Homo-oligomer: A and B are copies of this chain.
Amino acid sequence: MGKASSRRRRGFAYERELARELWNRGFACMRAPASGAKVRRRAQPDLVAMKNGVILVFEVKTRRREGHVYIDAGQVEKLSEFARRAGGLAFIAVKILDGRGWRFVPVERLARTRGGSFKVGLEEVERGFRLRDLEVLVSGGYRSLDEYLGQGKDTNSQKDA
């Protein structure tokens, strides 16, 4: 098995892990087909999680401690378009491989690189939402992500979920 294929399999394993984590927190989760790359490329994100009528849409990335996460511009556009159609919120879900768990970065916080793709910087990942924050977000306490980002930021720096 080649490197790309092995990386791809690892990616699917983390998508499954995230789906399980969210399911255990009461979300309904829908994962994209692991096969059928053509269908995926067309439109579907890695994972959609829903609770209380709130729709969260994810692209899943892994990251070692050091280094940024780079995302193809087309992938970000498709993710945003899907969330816009659904009336949901789009996140880059970053699995940090040093044991610190998941961070969720709203696409609104992504920075454009000179090359035209998108980057999630080290600091943005650290500042990202945690699983606990997603639970608060769908609990009905906030009407929009803007409101959450504005009012709920402080909860963000607390202990991991």
Residues of A whose CB lies within 8 Å of any CB of B are 16, 23, 26-36, 39, 43-45, 48, 50-55, 57, 82-83, 85-88
Contact = CB atoms under 8 A, between A and B. Distances in A.
Contacts of A52: 87
Nearest to A138: B87
Contacts of A87: 50-54
B51 A53 contact: no
A85 B87 CA distance: 17
A78 to B, nearest CB: 11
* Main secondary structure on A side of the interface with B: mixed
A85 B34 contact: no
Given A33-B33, A34-B33, A88 B53 contact: yes
B35 A88 contact: no
Contacts of A23: 43
A157 B83 CA distance: 32
16 contacts: A27-B85, A29-B43, A29-B44, A30-B44, A30-B48, A31-B39, A31-B44, A32-B33, A33-B33, A33-B34, A33-B35, A34-B35, A35-B35, A48-B48, A53-B53, A53-B88
A53 B86 contact: yes
